[in-house]
Structures are given as C-alpha cells and as structure tokens.
Amino acid sequence: MAAFTYAPAIVLLPFVSFLVALFAGDRMPKGGALAGITATGGSLLLSIWVALTVAGGETYNQFVYTWVAGVESLQLRFGLLLDPLSALMLLIVCLISFLVHIFSLGYMNDEDETGLPRYYAGLGLFTASMLGFVVANNLLMAFMFFELVGLCSYLLIGFWFREAGPPSAAKKAFLVTRFGDYFFLIGVVGIFATFGTGLFAPVTQGGEVVAESFPVLAEHAVIDGETESIAMLDTVGMSAQAWFTVLGLLVLGGVIGKSAQFPLHTWLPDAMEGPTPVSALIHAATMVAAGVYLVARMYGFYAISPTALAVIALVGGFTALFAATMGLVKQEIKQVLAYSTISQYGYMMLALGSGGYIAAVFHLTTHAVFKALLFLGAGSVIIAMHHNENMWDMGGLKERMPVTYWTFLSGSLALAGIVPFAGFWSKDEVLYEALIHGFGTEGGLGTAYLLAYAMGLLAVFFTGFYTFRMVYLTFHGNARSDTARDPVPVRWNVKGPLAVLGFLAATIGFINMKPVAELTGAHIDFLHVWLNGPDEGGWPAALNTGLHHYETLLHDVAHVTKGYPLGETPTLLASAGISLGLALAGVLAARSLYAGPDPVEHTDKLGGLKTVLMHNYYQDEYQVWLATGVTYPVARAMDKFDQGVVDGVVNGVSSVSLFGGSRIRRIQSGLVSNYAMLLTLGLVLLLAFFGVMGGWF
Amino acid sequence: MAQLPSWMGLAPALALGLASLVLLLSDSIDPDTTNTPALAGISVVGSLVALASAVGFIIGGTGVPTSEGGQGTPVLFGGQLVVDQMALFFMVIVASVTALVVLASYDYVSEHSYQAEFFALVMLSATGMTLLSAANSLATAFVALELVSLPSYALVAFLKKNRGGVEAGLKYFLIGAVSSAVLAYGISLVYAATGVLRFDGIATAISSGTIQTIVDGSVQAQSGEPAVPMSILGVGILMVIGGVAFKTAAVPFHFWAPEAYEGAPAPISGFLSSASKAAGFVLAFRVFAVAFPIGDLLATGGAINWVVAFQILAIATMFIGNFAAATQEKVKRMLAYSSVGHAGYVLIGLAAVSASGEGLSFSISAGMSHLLVYGFMNTGAFLFIALAEYWGVGRRFEDYNGLGKEAPVACAAMTVFLFSLAGLPIGGGFFSKFYLFQATLNVGAWSLAAALIINSALSLFYYSRVVKAMWIEEPTGERSIDSYPMGLYTAVVGAAIVTFLLVPGFNQVSEIAFQAAQLL
C-alpha cells in the first residue's frame, strides 16, 4: 500500500515544476527544463511503482480532500482511483511527458527560443492536470482537470503569440472544445442530480461499500429496476435507461470535443501551430486521449445504453474514415499527422462503442507511443528544415538523418498497421471486435457495428497510403530544396527520445498479440489479463471496473454478443489478413506514386474531389458560417431585444420610479395643515372603502 | 430556580423608569449640570440592565406556559399588563436601541445645555415603549403610547436654536395630536361595541357576538346578552389601525416622519425610527392577533377584514416610502423615507394572511425578526449620520464623497448597515427580508411578494449611492476630521457587529420570534 500513499505525489511533482518554472525559470539553467525533467522522471518512477503494486492485485479508491461538505449526502471531494486502467494511463502520460521534456531541450533550448520559463511552466501544469484527470475518482474532479488540460492546451498552442496563426488557433481550439465541454458540464450536473454522486467506482472500507458509484447505481436501476431512490427519473419522466442514455450522450459531448471527433475535430489541425513537442504530448498522445479515457473510465455507464454505444461506434468509424481521406492530400508534415491522429482516435471510439474495451485501451497505448514518436520525428525534421514544414520542399533526408529516418519508419509502419509493428496488433483487434460483435449482435446495434466496421476497414487503406506518402516525400528521392540538401544536425536530446519510442513502437504491440495467442494457445495476451484481473472476486469485483464485469453488462443489457461467420479462428485470421492486406495495398499505392527520385503531385487527378479534400469537406467553412450566419444574427437579435425591450423596460421602470418619487416628494409640501388634511382624507377613504365592503351603511 | 414575584416581570420597564427618575432627580438638584459622563452613564446602565433582564427572562422561559416547560406568563394589574415572550422580545429591541442611542448621545449632546432633560426624556419614552410591549388593554396601551409620544415631541425639538428641528417638533406634535384623537375615538367605539377594553375580553365579544363585561377580573357576557354592533366595531378597528399607523409611520399617517427624522438630532431620529416604530408594531401585533382575531371576524362577518386594510397600507407604504427615498438629495432624509418603506415591509407581518386567516403566526414572527434586525441596522445608520453631523460634514450625498478614506472603520460599518437595509447578505437584513418574503409566499400573497421584491431592488439603488459616494467618489471640497468621538464610534461599530452577527444568529432570533408569535 505504500505506493498508494505516495500516489498524490505523481500529480504534485509536475505541479511543483510548474511553480518552479513559472517563478524561478528565469534564473535557472535551461529555463526550468531540468525541473520539469526531474519532476516527470520522478512521477514516472512512482507510476511504475504504482503499476507494480496494482499488478500485485491491489487497488486504491479513497477520498483525499473534501472541498464542499454538503448539507445532506452530496459532498464534493477530490479522490484517487488507482486500478489497472489508471495505472496504465499514468505510465503512458509520465513516459511521454518525460521524453517530450527531454526532446524540448533540442527543439526549444537549442533553437534559442525566448519565453522558455513560460513554455516549461505550461508543460508542467499540463502534465500535472493530465495526471490529476487520470487518477480522478469522481466525475466532477475529472471535469475540473479536463478543463485545466484544455487551458494548458490553449496556452501552449498560442505559445508564439506574436505571430498571426498561433493565437487564432489557440482561440479556435479553446472555443471548439468548450462547445463540447458545455454539454459535458450539463452531463456532470445531471449525473450529480440523478445519483447524488459522481464516483466512478464504489469506495469500500473493510469490505463494506461506504459510498456507491454512479455506474453501479445506474446498473442497479436498469437491471434490477431499483429506481426508487432516483427521484430525478420522475422529474424528467423517462425510463431509467433512456435518461441514462441522455446523460451519457451529454458527457460524450465533452469527449467528442476533446478527442477531436466529428464534428468537433476542426480544432486539432489548427492546433499544430503550437511547438511540435507540445503537439506530440498534448495533441497526439495524452490530452486528446482524455476523451477516450473518460469513456473507458465510466464504461460501466455506457455499457448499459445500447443507443450511446451505437452513437460512439458510428461517430468513431465515421471519423476514422473521414479524417483519413483528408490526410491524403495535405502538404505539410504535421497536418498529415494531425488528421491521422483524428482518424486513430476514431478507431478507439469505434472499439469502445462496439464493446472492444481492451482493443480501445490497447490502441490508446500503442497510438500514444507511435504517434508521439512520429510527431517528435517530424519535430526533428522541422529542426533540420529550419521550421519549413512543407513536404514538397524536403526529400532525401534518409541519408542525412538516419536515426530520425529509421525511428520514423518504425512509427510509420506501426501507424499503417504492418505486422509486427504495434499498430497492427491494436488496430486489428479494434476491427476484429467490431466485426464479431457486428455479426453476433441482433437488430440495429449490430447493423451499426457492421457499418462502423466497414468505414474503419476502408480507412486502413487510406492510412497506409497517406503514411507512406509522407515517408516517401520526406525522406526518399532527391532533395528538393537547399535546406533539405544541407539539413541542420540534431543532437542527442532529440535522438534519445526518438530511439526509445522507435523501439517501443516496434515492440509495444507484443503486450497483446491476440491472433498469436489464439493460434498457439499461449497466454501472452498480457493486457487482457491486466485489465480483466482474476475472473472471480478480488479487486475488479470490488470496484466494478474490471473487463469481466463490463463484458457481462454488455452481454446482459445491450445484448452485445460475439458471432463468427467463418468459425472462431478462421474469422480471426481473415480479419487480420484483410486489414493487413488493405494496409499493404495502401503502402504499395503510395510507393508506386511517390517512390521515384523526383515525385510529382498526383492530387490533380482527383479533379473536383481534390478541392473538397483540400478544404477538409468545407468543415471549417460551415462552422464559420454557423457562427457568422446563424449565431451572430441570433445574437444580434438577442442584443436588440436586450437593448430595446429589456433595457427599455428597466430604463422605463427607473424613470417611472424617479418621476413617481418626485411626485411623492411634492405631496410633502411642508405645510402641516396639508398633512392633516391628507391624513384625514386617507382615513375617510379607508372608512368609505371598508364601509361599502362591509355593508355598514 | 425559585419563582420570582410576578411584578419582577416588568424589570426591564422598571429599570428604564428608575433610570429616568434618577436623571430627573439629578436635574432638579443641579439643573445646569454638564457632567455628561455621569448622565450618559446612568442611562446606559439603565438600558443595559433592562436589556440584560429581558434577555435573561427570554432564555429563562418567562412567558412560556409552565405546561411547556417555561416559567409561566406574569399577568399584572388585573390583566392590564402581560409579560409574555413577545413583550420581552420587543423589550430587547427597545432596550438595545436605547442603549445604542444614549451611548452615541454622549458625544452628541456634550456641547449642549439641558443634558439631563435629554437623557431623562429618552429614558421616559423608552419606559413607555416597554410598557406598550406588555400592554394588554386598550386603555393601558393608550396611556403607554402617550408616554412614548410626549417625550419624543420634545426630543425632536431638543435643539431649540435649530429652526428646522423646532418646526419638525411642532408638526410632529400636531399630527400626533390628530392621530391620538383618531386612536382615542377608535378605542371608544370598540369599547362601545364590545363593552370591554381588555384584549382577551374584546376577542370573547367578537367570537361570541355578545357584549361582554369584566367581573372580578374575568370576562363574562352582559346580562340580556346584547349583540355586538358590527359596523361600529368595524369603524373602531379601522381607527385603531389609524393610530397604529401613526406610530409606525405608515401611509397615510407618515407625513410627520420625514420631517421629524430630518429635523431631530440624528440619535433621536434613530431612536424614533427604530424603537418607537417597534413599539407601534408590538401594539399592532398584539391588538390584531389577540383582540381582533381575524378568524372570528371573518366567521362573524360584517365588521371588517383588517387583513385587506393592512395589505393596502403595506403596499402603499412600501411604494411611497421607497420611491420618495429614491429621489432625495440629502442622506438623512433618504434614510427617513427608507424608514417609512421599512414600516411597509413589517406591515407584511399583519398582511400576509391567507383568506381563511391562516399563517398569522409565521408572518408576525417574520415582522418581529425584521424589526429586531432593523433596530440595529437602522439605528446604526442614523448614528453614522450623527457622526457626520458631529464632524460637520454636509447633509447631501456629494458631501459624503471620499469619506471612506478618512474614516474607514465608520464607513465600513455604514456600508454594512446600508447593504443590510437593502437586503444583501452582509447583515441580518437579508434573512429577515427573505423571511418576510417566505411569509408572503406561504399564503400566496403575490402582490405583497412583488411589492417587496420591487422595492428592495429600488432601495439597493439609493442605498448604493451613499456607498458609492463614500468609497468611490473623490472628495469635492476641503474637509478635515480631527476627532474620532468615542461614544459614537462604539455605538456605530457595536451596531455593525451585531448586524453582521445576525447573519449566523438569525436562526435563533427567528425561532424565538416564532415561538412568541405562536404563544399569543
């Protein structure tokens, strides 16, 4: 249990580094970077300790601090929930943050950027907030840290605030995610109002449940019909399941904004205006994962709502395909990666929606590694190219930057989903889960799964294509500009993180090689075991956050069942074969078009489609139109109403009041005989009134 | 604890009366004394003893029937006086306000002659108020009321060289004479209609519908059982309302108030607008809750539905008081009108009653609570005016500009008073207004609720003008404050502290008030 005692330090260490960088960064070597590296390193070590303790079968779910003690049972508290899911996420966040801090030495310090204390303060605060979000044991605490990471994202995207692009992109990111968070906030309030608690998992003391969690309460209400204690249901006049679906979808608003899912994905490509290490940390590996993580965190709540599951799966599948097509035609290396990020988070949502809890967490893990790697690799290229990001000005960097090339290639193979790199295993599992659940589940939900699966499958081809288009244009062929012929060399602090991540991108997939496990019968699906826990009793049963519990819920309530059109093993192999084949087809297509020494643009062949893709399906245009064409006139009409009617009434009331007041003043003439007369008159009027009323006369 | 003799129940009134007699005695021995510390000291001690004994009795359970674990209710002089919880509650208000006022007067009158008379008159008037709290018969009530009024006429005109003060005193006296005549006539009509003056006797007459008489202290029907003439009773009740309205400065009997409050020395304005108003209300609450029970009146029919009368008066008083206050240029006159407006709020205590006569206890207790809070915040505000007069700061809003920089403590206290008067939760005024609001909602008196909200919002406007002048505006002219008078400061700061403490303490106050109202 000792590890859990020190667990709050995981969050607090980066926070201290934030304070140090903010207040003493000027006077420190490297502008506060060393404090950040030390803090995240320390957090990483503590996270490993926590993960090892969790691996030993222990979990932790306790309140740490009560900041609002309610009159009745409602209390607002901070608490820590450390179970396999959060322990894994802690590892990911700490690791990436640690590597990004080191990489920043090369990207920011060696480039003589100004404002470094501000940069490292932002990174520190972000890391602290993200870790706080990960360990949060209740929804309100999660929401608060969710907003804090959004704030840090805003601050860091706009780091170069003197240029034109970054401040505008920062504002866009802030506003678009806020739009989603607005629904999230309503959802949080709704969940608190419905259940009186926001706990993700029940708090137990000595085997007794002392504070129930809202997913468990919801589960009891839907399965056992225990709705008496939920007064909210009478208020809204809905069945328990319908109301919980509404609440789940409200929370999903925040998820869609933060994880850049359609239609709130438009902020992420613009967010690439920020420094590239920031893109790697925040806009690829961690913050964007917060949305997906939140769904996984309260998966028990979504598992009892088939509608919400279908929405999640469809949004995910559609986003995966939609974003992949937009990535096909981009010219800047970070833009390709941004659309790829949106697409990959689509896969995770697809997995969560279609009952593939493990697949989603698995893909979250592998993606964090290989996408951080790709962004850092792109950062290395950008250093070399004097901050020119256009791929058509690159070419031939393979010989001049071998470390960057080979690690980037490792990440690209992982992203494209080529065996045996990480992305293959996780993406294959996502698609496999969608497929078997699509076949097995009856009714509309099954159809939705199959539709989402089809979109996700098609996106595999596009992923392979755009990934290797990027690789060929950047590293192969002849150099197409002077800077590409003579790139700036990068130092150890860039190569080191790349090497670590490059190795991991190739190997991290081995933690859950499901097809191999299936074929050989060896128990090497470690992630499955990690999240599943012992099948009976033990910690997942106490917390209700184990995979086993979720699978039961999915099966019992949403009737998500497995179906094997070709029998179990052949289906597995066919699914893996199809996705691998499509990925390879994409890679080969890219090779045939862009592999030559002097590749040319082929986008014109797309004709009108090119324009559509270049403009991202006019997503920005229609959202701007929504703002200027709809919201603005409505706001103006409201303003007119406010100015004219509301203010008019208020002004009218005050002028009437003052006029009336001055009239009343005039009654006070100062003549005592007038007073006596008015007094008597008043009395007589009262007498007359009551005399008539009471029939005295 | 041994049972005290029942006359001890009047200890608060006795303490105040004794103090006034001591002051008169010293005045007759040494008419030209300027030994202000001694005079003010006697008065403060007298009022504090009164306060302590009243609080002690409330906590000790005097006025609560023995069957409910209390000490029983002392009834004196054949039922002419009764010391119940409500009487004690109002004695607390009166004694606190008197203590604050005499403490503040220490600095205010030290430059003037006839100081002993000043203090003696204040104490006499306070004695009248405590007696009025306990009065259980229309005759006693009338006498006590005059004991309250006559010294106050003189007090308003205390600064003989001040033309405004003398004029206001005279007007106050004349209007008071008219009102007393109305009240006396009303009392005589009630007596004619019911045959009794004691409140419980009047109630019996109304409920039984026959004229009563009192034999050996007990109420019984007159021989032949003649019926109560309801129309005469109705006119009498309406005129009693008139007399009460004068004392509480409610429309249309309010004309004296703005001028008397403005012309009088500021501590006296505070005294009249807080304590004297409270005394008027205790009479109203007791007469209308005990002597003219609304349920019986409605059941018998024919006489008068006084709830409607109070609703009219409450709404008219709220609007006229607050609207007139909004357009004033002088701070003291603004406070004078706002005091009229507050009388309107407290009248809700008798107006927020349902059509069948339910909810009276709750609304009366709301009115009582508001009067208690008001006793501190309004007296405090007038004492701040006294402080400003002491410094020679002008009377207009502009003259207060920048005062916050020179006297931050007093101005902070004034801010507490004003915001509490407006109903912001910085002082007890928020809760007492909210309590009144609740009383209106309980019986669905929407017009009263709306009037309360509208007028509170309006009052925030004119109270904030003073706050803005004190803290935000730059001083317009030269002004130098060279002394910080001890007595005034103590009184102002003390009132501010109590006003603030009534935020957490309001619950206890409202509980006592509710119990007192229920026991009527």
SS3 annotation, B129-141: HHHHHHECEHHHH
Is the CB of residue A436 less than 8 Å from the CB of residue A446?
no
Residues B108-116 have a mean pLDDT of 82
Residues of A with a Cβ under 8 Å from any B Cβ are 654, 657-658, 660-662, 664-665, 668, 670, 672, 675-676, 678-683, 686-687, 690-691, 693-697
pLDDT digits (tens, 9 = 90+) for A569-624: 888 888 889 999 999 999 999 888 888 788 887 777 777 777 887 787 888 888 88
**Cα–Cα separations (whole angstroms), residue A160 to A155, A156, A166, A167, A270:** 10, 8, 6, 8, 14
Q: Give CA–CA dist A266/A287, Å, rounded.
A: 16
Strand partners, A332: A390
Predicted ipTM? Answer: 0.85
Chain B residues with CB inside 8 Å of A694's CB? 230-231, 234, 302-305
Number of CB atoms found within 10 A of residue A113's CB:
15
Backbone angles phi and psi of A354, in degrees to 5: -95, 20
Task: Tell which of B235, B292, B323 to mutate to test the A interface (max A CBs under 10 Å).
Answer: B323
Nearest CB partner across the interface for A657, out of B303, B305, B323 = B323
Q: How far is B377 from chain A (nearest CA, A)?
A: 24
Note the pLDDT tens digit of each residue in A182-205.
Answer: 999 999 999 988 888 888 888 887
Residue-level pLDDT at A373: 92
Contact indicator for A2, A56 with CB cutoff of 8 Å: no
B171 and A668 in contact by Cβ < 8 A? no
Which band of pLDDT confidence, cut at 50, 70 and 90, is reported for residue B231? confident
Q: What's the average model confidence in pLDDT over A26-54?
A: 87
A41 to chain B, closest Cα gap in Å:
49
Task: Find chain A residues with C-beta within 8 A of B260's C-beta.
Answer: none
- CA pair distance A587, A413, nearest whole angstrom: 9
Return the residue matching tokens 């690209």.
Answer: A412
- Fill in the DSSP letter of residue B219: E
Residues of A in contact with B238 (CB under 8 A): 683, 686-687, 690
Asked if B298 reaches chain A (Cβ–Cβ under 8 Å), the answer is no
Q: Does B320 touch chain A (CB under 8 A)?
A: yes
Helix-helix angle A84-104:A116-135, to 10 degrees:
170
Q: Which residues pair with B306 in a beta bridge?
A: none
Rounded CA gap, B485 and B493, in Å?
Answer: 12
Share of chain B above pLDDT 70, in %: 99
Which residue in B has a C-alpha nearest to residue A667's C-alpha? B255
Percent of chain A residues topping a pLDDT of 90: 27
Give the pLDDT band of residue A541 (cuts 50, 70, 90): low
pLDDT, chain B, mean:
88
Peptide bond into A277 cis (omega under 30): no
**Pick from B406, B228, B248, B223: which is nearest to B321 by CA?**
B248
B294 touches chain A (CB under 8 A): no
Whether B271 has a pLDDT exceeding 50, the answer reads yes
Q: DSSP string spanning B233-245?
A: HHHHHHHHHHHHH
The number of beta carbons lying within 10 Å of the beta carbon of residue A519 is 12
**Paired tokens of B519:** 């026991």
CB contact at 8 A, B182 and B243? yes
Among the partner residues A668, A679, A687, nearest to B253 by beta-carbon distance: A679
CB contact under 8 A, A668 and B258: yes
Residues ≥6 apart with Cβ < 8 Å to B504: none
Average pLDDT over residues A216-245: 82
Taking an 8 Å cut-off on Cβ atoms, the answer to whether A679 and B178 are in contact is yes
State how far Cα B185 lies from the chain centre: 23
Q: Which of B251, B302, B326 lies nearest to residue A658, judging by beta carbons?
A: B326
Q: If DSSP codes are grouped into helix, strand and coil, which group holds residue A516?
A: helix
Strand B218-221 relative to strand B212-215, pairing:
antiparallel
- Closest chain A CA to residue B333: A665
Model confidence at A482, pLDDT cuts 50, 70, 90, reads confident
Query: Where are the strands (E) in A147-225, listed by range?
Result: 203-205, 208-211
Q: pLDDT confidence of A536, banded at 50, 70, 90?
A: low
- Return residues 78-117 of B near A (CB < 8 Å): none
Q: Residue A212: name the closest of A143, A264, A137 by CA.
A: A137
Residues contacting A651, CB < 8 A, separation 6+: none
pLDDT in tens, B126-168: 999 999 999 999 999 999 999 999 999 999 998 888 888 899 9
Are the Cβ atoms of B323 and A672 closer than 8 angstroms?
no
Cα Rg of chain A (Å, integer): 30
Let me know the angle formed at the C-alpha of B311 by B308 and B315, rounded to the nearest 5 degrees: 150
Q: B324 and A668: CB-CB below 8 Å?
A: yes
Can you say whether the dihedral through the CA atoms of B195, B201, B203, B209 is positive or negative? negative
pLDDT reading at B2 higher than 60:
no
CB count, 10 Å around CB of A246? 17
The closest alpha carbon to A525, from A416, A429, A418, A410, belongs to: A429
Cβ burial of A144 (10 Å; 0-12, 13-18, 19+) is middle
A87-96, A642-651, B137-146, B442-451, range with the lowest pLDDT: A642-651
Whether residue B279 contacts residue B86, with contact meaning beta carbons closer than 8 Å, is answered with no
Beta-bridged to residue B135, according to DSSP, are B81
Q: Chain B: give the shortest CA distance to residue A222, in Å.
A: 39
Phi first, then psi, for residue A567 (nearest 5°) are 90, 160
Q: Does B437 touch chain A (CB under 8 A)?
A: no
Confidence of residue B302 (pLDDT cuts 50, 70, 90): low
User: Which residue, among B264, B42, B23, B49, has the nearest Cα to B120 in the 3D structure?
Assistant: B23
Is the four-CA dihedral B269, B273, B274, B277 of positive or negative sign? positive
Contact A680 B178 (CB under 8 A): yes
B residues 144..183 contacting A (CB < 8 A)? 170-171, 174-175, 178-179, 182
* pLDDT confidence of residue A273: 87
CA–CA gap between residue A378 and residue A471 (Å, rounded): 10
Distance from CA of B144 to the nearest CA of A (A): 23
Cβ B435 vs Cβ B510: under 8 Å: yes
- Which residues of chain B does A697 touch, with a Cβ-Cβ cutoff of 8 Å? 231
Cis peptide before B504 (omega within 30 of 0): no
Instruction: Report the pLDDT averaged over residues A148-177.
Output: 90
A contact test, residue of B308, B327, B462 with most A CBs within 10 A: B327
The dihedral sign for the CA sequence A486, A487, A490, A496: negative
Each residue of A567-593: b (16+ CB within 10 Å) or e? Answer: eeeebbebbbebbbebbbebbebbbeb
Distance from CA of A258 to the nearest CA of B (A): 40
Contact between A664 and B231 using a beta-carbon 8 Å cutoff: no
B260 contact A CB<8A: no
Pick B182's closest partner by Cβ from A664, A683, A695.
A683
pLDDT band for position B1 (50/70/90)?
A: very low
Across chain A, what does the average pLDDT equal? 86
B338-381 pLDDT, tens digit per residue, is 999 999 999 998 888 877 777 888 889 999 999 999 999 999 99
Mean pLDDT, residues B385-413 taken together = 87
